[in-house]
Structure formats: C-alpha cells, structure tokens
Structure 1
Amino acid sequence: MQDYSQAPNYVPDLTGCEMHEGPKQGIGTSRRVFLSNGSHMDETVTQWQELQGFTIRLHKGDQGAPKPFSEASFVYRIEPEGQTTRLTMTMDYTMKGGVIARLMDKAFMNLIIRSTVARIAKNMKGYYETGIPTNKAFKTGSDKNT
C-alpha cells in the first residue's frame, strides 16, 4: 500500500495515475488519478501513522474538493487481527449547498459512498492477494490492445 502509483490496479473507474513532485511516501505524497469519464482528481497524503494508517485528501489542484463536496478525504486504518491484518476504509466528506440540500444529498451520497468503498476494498484485497489488476477500466501495458 506504500506504492501510491498502484491505485488504478484496484480502484474502479481509474484509468491511470501520475505521481506529483515531492515525497514518494508519507505526508505530502501526492498523485493525480485519471477517471474513465475523462476527468482527473488529485490525492494528497495529509496524515500518516506508520503501520497504522493514513489519510488522503481528495482535491482538484488548488480548487478544493471535487464536486459535489466542499471537503473530502479517504481514510485507511490498518490493525493486526490474529494472524491477519484488518484494513478499514472510510470516506469523510462535507457536501456543498444549504443545510436541507446537504442533508438530502448526504443520505443519498452515503449509499453511493458505502457501495464505492466496499468495491474498492474488495478489489484491493483481490489485487494485493494475487497481483492481478481487479479494475477493468485500467489497461496495463500487457493488455492495452485487448
């Protein structure tokens, strides 16, 4: 999980990733991910606890979080559990708009985000256990022409 260039192998709808200048691990590590709809998003590590987890802030350059969020981050927590390791992933976010719009949107977004986080977790587990990409939108060098 320390190699941030691996995300397109397991995050649904990512088609690529470019690392930004700066640190390659820990706080300040930053990447730009490309989405299947042609857009992109930047992700920067804002918190890091060795062997315990990290937080990635989602943003579009200096413009802040991507729509419809005013703030968004993805939190990874890692805990030993017997002979295995438990990975807990959550997305923390604040919606744009007035109070009523935020309440209505948040209920709907919670359903979408829970589903998305579950897909990422399933794909990540499969990728790291087998080494085989689980994101169908990402074409690796060996299968770009298929």
Structure 2
Amino acid sequence: MSDSLGCSVGVTLDMPLADAWALLADFSLAHHYVPGLTRTEIVSAASSGLGARRRVYTGDKFLEETIIDWREGQGFTLRLHQGEKPMPPFRRAEFDYRLSPEGADRTRATLALPFVMPLGVFGRLLGRNLILPVMKKQLVAVAAGMKHFYETGTPATDEDRKRLAGAVDVYPASN
C-alpha cells in the first residue's frame, strides 16, 4: 500500500508449522485469541482461501474481513472493512498473518497491520502519532493471545495476553 503506515510483531509458537497452519487456516477461530471479539461468523460460501469473508463481532457490532491474498501453508492477508467501505477511520486497512518454521517443532508467527489514513499529510501525522501506538498495543495482545490459544487449545483471556506479552517482539513501524 503506498502512503501506508503500519506496525508488526512476531511471536514464537511452540508447535510445528503444519499444526500452526491448520489453526490459522481455520478462518472461524479469531475470537479465541483476538481481544474483545465475542464471536466469528463465516459469511461467504468459502470458509477459507482467497475471497473467504468473515464477520468478527464485539457484542452486536461487527467488522468484516476478506482474504485478499492466500499463501498456502504460510499465511494470508485480510482487508478490514464494513460493507464496501474500509474500516473507519482508514482509507484502507489490512491485517497480515505470516508463519515460518523455526526448527522442527517451533513456528514464527508475524502479524502486521498496514493502513492508509485519509486527509493526506495531516492524516499521516495523526496516524503516526495517535493510531500507531494503539495498533502496536493491539497487535501485541493479538500475538500473545494467539500464542496461548495455539499452544493450549483454550481461548485466551486478558490475563493470558498480559502474561505472554513479553514473548512478543515489536518491530519498527513502517512509515
């Protein structure tokens, strides 16, 4: 995305790549590790792969996520939107999941959130100073929750995310 800002994090999962991919490819599991989500609903005919669409709920409100890039066994990229409009306040927002092996029994999960702000230079300034810090904190919580859920099979709690936040590496923001 040109004019994009973004942040990314990484965490090591104590499981083989194939097992991590089996969980990641199940597009219905996000609410088990993403903070604040109460349920996930697949709303497309396809339940995974390019074009699959889901709604992730926080109470009665939802955000739509559509897979726009599918890398079998390695990850995918989601477009975050509400109907045909991008997730507010963004002109465009995506969420990228990448998996890579770290030996036979460990997998590196890298999560990235690139986005484009409206309002040109002013929007970029707001994005860099106000949105990026919030996004970094959210990505750390998602990665920590993912580590807990993938390794234990039980939904992550805020306490689990807090306990595992130190295992998450935060990479320099892109801008």
- Shorter-chain TM range is 0.7 to 0.9
Aligned 8 A contact 1:13 1:135 in 2:
no
TM-score where L is the length of structure 2: 0.72
Q: SS of the residue aligned with 2:91?
A: strand
Q: For residue 31 of structure 1, what is the aligned residue in structure 2?
A: 54
C-alpha separation between the residues in 2 aligned to 1:26 and 1:132? 25
Choose from 59, 64, 68 the match for 2:81: 59
Instruction: Name the CA shift for 1:58/1:135 in 2 (closer, same or farther; >3 Å).
Output: farther
Question: What count of residue pairs does the alignment treat as equivalent?
Answer: 134
TM-score where L is the length of structure 1: 0.85
Mean alpha-carbon deviation: is it higher for 98-107 or for 118-127? 98-107
Q: For residue 9 of structure 2, what is the aligned residue in structure 1?
A: none
Give CA deviations for 1:9-33 in whole Å, capped at 9, x if unaligned: 1110111121112211110111011
Choose from 85, 109, 113 the match for 1:91: 113
Q: CA RMSD in A?
A: 1.4
Q: Which has the higher contact order (CA 8 A, sep 6+)?
A: 2
Give CA deviations for 1:10-59 in whole Å, capped at 9, x if unaligned: 110111121112211110111011114x4211000000111121101100
Q: Give the gaps of 5 or more residues in structure 1.
A: 137-146
- Structure 1's consecutive aligned runs of 4 or more residues displaced over 3 angstroms after TM superposition are none
Measure how far apart 1:128 and its partner are. Answer: 1.0
